């Protein structure tokens, strides 16, 4: 897992994003057990309390659930995973559009460039 964390946003939110991305990308499969809080904290080089906060946030989102004595697991709810995957995609699209508009492109130009790129960059 790539743990590239900086001071731009709260660390726990960055951890949420990394784990969420890894779940959506398939690094963790539905039903997989997550490593312990301590193991994840060591891997990310963060305080266990910070990792705990991030995992609690992932539980709130529905991507992770806790089994009382067994640990935390990835949801098996594929509809929830699809919903979050599409949400992340929309966020990336919005960021892309904002960046393109800052470069001075109009929506028609962006659409034309995307269509060209999707056809193979002709």
User: Residue-wise pLDDT tens for the chain (122 aa)?
Assistant: 668 888 899 999 999 999 999 999 989 999 999 999 999 999 999 999 999 999 999 999 999 999 988 999 999 998 999 999 999 899 999 999 999 999 999 999 999 999 999 998 65
User: What is d(CA 5, CA 70) in angstroms, rounded to the nearest whole number?
Assistant: 29
Encoded tokens for 91: 């966020």
Domains of the chain by residue range? 11-76, 79-118
The single-letter DSSP state of residue 32 is P
Q: Max alpha carbon distance in the chain (Å)?
A: 56
- CATH number for domain 11-76, candidates 1.10.8.80, 1.20.120.420, 1.10.10.10, 3.40.50.300: 1.10.10.10
């Amino acid at each position: 897992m790539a743990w590239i964390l900086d001071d731009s946003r709260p660390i726990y939110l960055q951890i949420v994003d990394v784990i969420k991305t890894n779940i959506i990308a398939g690094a963790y499969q539905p039903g997989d057990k997550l490593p312990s809080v301590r193991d994840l904290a060591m891997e990310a080089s963060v305080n266990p309390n910070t990792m705990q906060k991030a995992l609690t946030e992932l539980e709130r989102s529905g991507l992770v659930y806790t089994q009382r004595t067994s640990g935390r697991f990835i949801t098996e709810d594929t509809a929830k995973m699809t919903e979050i995957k599409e949400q992340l995609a929309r966020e990336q699209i919005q960021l892309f559009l904002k960046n393109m508009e800052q470069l001075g492109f109009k929506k028609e130009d962006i659409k034309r460039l995307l269509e060209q790129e999707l056809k193979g960059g002709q």
